[in-house]
Structure 1
Amino acid sequence: MKIAVICANGKAGRLIVKEAMDRNLDVTAVVRGENRSAAGKVIAKDLFDLTAADLKGFDAVVDAFGAWTPETLEQHSTTLKHLCDTLSGTDTRLLVVGGAGSLYVNPDHTATVSDGPDFPEMFKPLAVAMAKALGELRQRKDVKWTYISPAGDFQAEGERTGEYILGGEELTLNSKGESVISYADYAIAMVDEIVGGSHIQERISVVRK
């Protein structure tokens, strides 16, 4: 199975690359500069410069793009649109490293995590930008996308437990009442979905077991 990981130099991207390679998948890192991931194959291009020819032949493309500064938040939408346009009408799956702020907290799906009174104010612009991008992604019926939201506490340096709970559109808590997952366990879930998942045009979520 051939996969490409976009923004493979990021914390999530590097761990997804490693997890996939540990399972003997054929992995290509897509990076703007020098490759710092474990992948031996590299496409050195800016995301916005990627073409259909660049991504042809991959079974799955992982979008691990991230932006956090006010002037770059809109790129959550523009980068995703570019990838969708590039993969439109193909059988290549697009798997997106998403956010937790847009997970629903009620059965009617009218309230999200980021609407809560305890949601940090500093993260609201990011949550709004990522929710907007997800909303736009939901309109794409021409792409085999899957959006994977992490738990609320997404720990870059968290331990790899090897276990997780797969959830859906609503915030899922583990048996301890926690919403937490490490980047390493998230990478496991991502590669599991690539290899055996069938959540096409769906948002799913993961939390530590």
Structure 2
Amino acid sequence: MVFPPLDRALKEWPAAIAALANGDSILLLRKGGIQEPQGQFWPATTAVWLLPSIEHQQPEALRVPAEAIAHEVPEQLELSVWAEISQAIPLPAHFPLTDLSASTVWTTAFLEQRRHWKPEQPLWLLVLRTYRVPESRSLAWQASYRGCRSWITLAEPLSRQDSEPVLSDRAFADQWQAIAEILQRGGLTLDGLPTAAHAAD
């Protein structure tokens, strides 16, 4: 498949990007920052580079070894993973988060904290199909990438040539099936969303 160059990016903590890049997770749970357009998080694009950021990172919020937590981001970034956002689902206010937490790098306590910030806005569940490029794309960190916002337009589009999915169709479908079952147990109706079988087609 041919993927055109891409200049959109989603800022995320390095530990979460690593889990996506390793195939350990296909989920992000996001609320957005105070500088989002219209003041709220909204998944307005379907493909993004995953841009490491440590803004507001809380080591105690992560279920990963301490040595796996990045404490700085280099001025010269090397981007090697991007993702298709295959689902963007606003979670109900009282949806149980414990089982979803186990599919992410975050603790349940942190996800509850994230949900209760701006309680009038939903916590978004993003299902991502992550891809790797064979050679990382160099990108100089710019002041315009800073700030409490999720979505970034890069200084120039970066090539996605020869990208390969991190997970096979079957492996991705299996993870999505497990997540869909968690959502259904929590009372979320998935009418209109693709099943795992469709995801593997």
- Shorter-chain TM-score bucket reads under 0.3
Considering fraction of residues, name the structure with more strand: 2
Q: Which structure has more RCO (C-alpha within 8 Å, separation ≥ 6)?
A: 2
